[in-house]
Amino acid sequence: SELGLRMQEDPGTQEAEEGYAQALQTVLLSVGASAVFGGGVWATMGSTAGLQFFSGYLLEESLSVDNLFVFLLLFEYFKVPKAYQPRVLSWGIGGAIIMRAAFVFAGLAAIEQFKGVLVFFAAFLIFSSYKIISSGGEEEEDLSNNKVVKFAKKVVNSVDQYDGDRFFTIEDGVKRATPLLLVLACVELSDVLFAVDSIPAVFGVTQDPFLVLSSNIFAIISLRALFTVVSDAVSKLKYVKPAVAIVLGLVGVKMIVEYLGVEVGEIVSLGTIIGVLGGGVALSLNEAEATVEDNTED
């Protein structure tokens, strides 16, 4: 049959489509699990806690898209075969959860000792927002001079060739790191930098350690599958980074006004996050569609 011939001629395409479908299913399951968990928080801890969880989750998930841009650049720079990328992502996500937990408890300890830390966090978020918007949201394409990559190369003295998806190999009877471990080191170091933005941001939503940590974890666990789903489309999401920057700035302003005694409602916070991020995605997709139509007409 024609279908059978197509499958024989292009098995790689079929395998890629199956991998995409499986990743999409995993993303939907993780989002569903997050929704169920948030519903449980709402039912047991009240509507305020429920709204705070969903606000924190959406904020962290949107910031995770930033991670995907960096992961794509790292995998491209180190020429990591697609078959080896899932292992790096799995280990990277595990390390990210541990590091986020450490950042959360360190941040909470600082806030308990001195409430003014919240103002510092707010100022940092507003500065980060300005920095992203003023730079046009462009990513550094050439990683040869990237400080994270340079530092990782000094720490991890790896061989030049990959050995499957192994992090270590034997060369001349000596155990050596493979380039895959170097990539993992870059991923983990990059996540430390992302945590510097994301943890203060979620503190702008709530200072409840349970809600801060759970919203972070649920956002992170979907990252591996989300990478597969959006890796081909992430470059088309032109206005997502500016939208995230606006959200960071608004969260920073919210933290300052609340520190001064003006309460901002949880429904207003959640609605603003959804509206700004949704607007960024809609504008991106609309422009991408318009570009495709223009190219078709040409």
Greatest mean pLDDT range, 87-101, 108-122, 230-244: 87-101
CA distance 171 to 278: 51
Residues in the chain: 298
Greatest CA separation found in the chain? 72
Instruction: Please provide the average confidence, as pLDDT, over all residues in the chain.
Output: 77
Per-residue pLDDT at 294: 61
How confident is the model over 140-153, as a mean pLDDT?
62
- Name which of 40-54, 75-89, 146-160 the model is least confident about: 146-160
Question: Rounded to two decimals, what is the model's pTM?
Answer: 0.71
Higher pLDDT, 288 or 173: 173
The pLDDT of residue 272 is above 70: yes
- Average pLDDT for 151-171: 79
Mean pLDDT for the stretch of residues 243-260: 80
Upper half-sphere CA count for residue 210 (Cβ side, 13 Å): 6
Residue 45: pLDDT over 90: yes
Rounded mean pLDDT of 66-78? 76
Nearest to 100 by CA among 141, 146, 56, 161: 56
Q: How far apart are CA 95 and CA 101, in angstroms?
A: 10
Structure tokens at 295: 């190219």
C-alpha closest to that of 227 among 41, 89, 38, 53 = 89
Mean local confidence (pLDDT), 137-142: 52
Q: What is the pLDDT of residues 167-215, one digit of tens each?
A: 888 887 788 888 888 888 888 887 777 777 677 778 888 888 899 889 8
Distance between CA atoms of 182 and 27, rounded to whole angstroms? 27
In this prediction, residue 49 carries a pLDDT of 92
Nearest to 180 by CA among 167, 171, 195, 191: 167
**In the predicted model, is pLDDT for residue 241 greater than 90?**
no
| pLDDT single digits (tens) 1-36 | 444 444 454 444 555 566 667 777 887 888 899 999
Q: Which residue has the tokens 């429920």?
A: 50
> Measured between alpha carbons, how far is 10 from 151 in angstroms, rounded to an integer?
41
- Pick the more confident residue, 112 or 85: 85
Contact of 143 with 77, CB cutoff 8 Å: yes
Contact 182, 153 (CB under 8 A): yes
